[in-house]
Structures are given as C-alpha cells and as structure tokens.
Chains A and B, each alone.
Chain A
Amino acid sequence: MNTLNIEVSKDQILGIVQEVFAAMLDMGETLIFEATKPTDLVDSLHAWVDMKLNLAEGPLTARAILCTSEETAQTITRTLLMTDEDEDVSFADLADAFGEIANMVGGNVKSLVRAPSELSMPVVSKEKDMSHEWLFLQDLHLVWRSQPLSVSLWVQPTTN
C-alpha cells in the first residue's frame, strides 16, 4: 500500500480557489477568503473530481470536494451562465456549472503534484460519495460573497 506522500497546503488551495473565482465569477476581483471558523451548511451540495496520480511509489487516487449550500451553488450557476437573479436554475445547469468550478479547482490542484495523472469528470450530488476508504488530507473553509463554502482533499491508498 502506498504511503500518503503528497502535500498540498491551505495557502495553495486558497490561491487556486481565489484565482478560479476571480477569473470566472468576479470579473478579476478577489471576493473569496478564508473563513475564521467552519459553518454548518444547511441543504448542502457537493461537487468533486477524482485525480488518478501515477506517483513513483505507485498509483494513488485523490479527490477534491467543493461544498456549499444549494442557494450559493445557484448563485454560482446564475453568475456563470449570466442569467437574471430571479431566473430558475435547473439541477442540470446547477450540476454543470458547480461541477465545472470543481473541475477547475481539482485540475489546478492536480498540477501541484508533479506526476502523470488523469482527471475524472466532475460529479455533483447532495450526498458525498465516500463509500470507499478515503483518508483526509487537507481542507479549507471559505467565505464567498458572505456565503460559506469549503474545499477538502482526500486520498485513497491503492494496493499494488
């Protein structure tokens, strides 16, 4: 079994998330910051991508999960799709837009690990699928436009 020898710092995650949100959602302005404390989310939505990393020690799968309230995910979706604030958002649009943000965060986290790797398609769900053995690696609690959001990284040891 591989040891967990990949390291990603909170500052690196923060930098990636700030770059993604500034470029895609906030017209270049930084409006997402580290929260002083975690917030319990009601009606939460999760978006994640998996990264299959071919490390020198063997293969490893990492998962990057974004979590926020469904209401905030709807705001993200409306902002990305450039629709009106009162326009209804379908779950398909929500999954597509929030999933794409997870895809960009995960893709840029993947680039921090200097090893050949593959990125999965994003998955968006009200439930986290952690049915396999995932080990906690890092997390970061954030505030975007006064709304809580979190990013967490997990790894799954792979038996050779």
Chain B
Amino acid sequence: MKAIVIDDSRTMRRIIGSALSQLGYDIFEAEHGVAALQLLEEHPDTALCTIDWNMPVMDGLTFVQEVRAARKWRATTLMMVTTESEHGQIVRALAAGAHEYLIKPFTPEAIMQKLDLLGILPQTTVEKLA
C-alpha cells in the first residue's frame, strides 16, 4: 500500500514516514500540496495521504479540496496531521473531505489506531495484530 507524507518539515516527514513504513506502507514524500498532487498523478493507487496544514506553495486544506474535486482520487484516504487543533479548523478540514484528523504531537501508536479505525492498515500489520 502506498502512502504520501505531505509536510514542509523534513523532520516530520521522516517521523511520520518511519511510523507508516513500520506498519507496512511504501512511503513517498512531498513538501507541499502541489508536489503531492504531482505524486498522486504518478501514483493514482495511493491508499493514504497524511497532510500538514500550514505549508508554503499549497497548504493542506487546499490540497484536500483539490483531491476531493477529482473523482479519480476518491479511493484515497486523507488524514490531516497538524498542530492546528482549533475546533473550527478541524471542522473545515473534515467538511472539505479529510477522513481523519491527528493533532501533533502524536505517538506511532496514535497513527496506527487512526488507520485501524479507518480500516486501511496494511494486511501484514492486520495479521500481526490478530
């Protein structure tokens, strides 16, 4: 299963990517929404995008809106991973089409629990948990 980690911080891309890789995902990285859209064009079978909110070039909310406007990416799960914890911002992201919302700081376990709830854990991890 493919996942795109979208965050302008290389540190955060490494941390989130490492957590997802350990769960069995193949990781691609993008430093803003425009780069992520290009990756989605190249990998339309991407199962998951984790998305920071505040990024240069294209922010996370705009990325979610762009993805949800295209039918070809309807199967891709979008999860915001951000410090934006204001209730109104969470509602905006979910209304725009994000499936889940994880507030920084987080633990690898928190990521796994969210993905388990969404039913998109890679089969190898599901088998380990069974």
Contact = CB atoms under 8 A, between A and B. Distances in A.
Interface of A: 19-20, 22-24, 28, 77, 80-82, 93, 96-97, 99-100, 103-104, 106-108, 110-111, 116-117, 119, 121
Contacts of B86: 110-111, 116-117
Given A80-B15, A116-B88, A121-B54, 7 more contacts: A23-B106, A24-B105, A80-B14, A81-B11, A81-B14, A96-B11, A100-B11
A100 B12 contact: yes
B11 A80 contact: yes
Interface string B7-23: 01111101100100000
B85 interface: yes
Interface residues of B, number: 20
29 contacts: A19-B105, A20-B105, A22-B105, A23-B105, A23-B106, A23-B107, A28-B107, A80-B14, A81-B11, A93-B10, A96-B9, A96-B10, A97-B9, A97-B11, A99-B9, A100-B12, A104-B83, A104-B104, A107-B82, A107-B85, A107-B104, A108-B83, A110-B86, A111-B86, A116-B88, A119-B54, A119-B83, A121-B8, A121-B56
Contacts of B83: 103-104, 106-108, 119
A23 B16 CA distance: 13
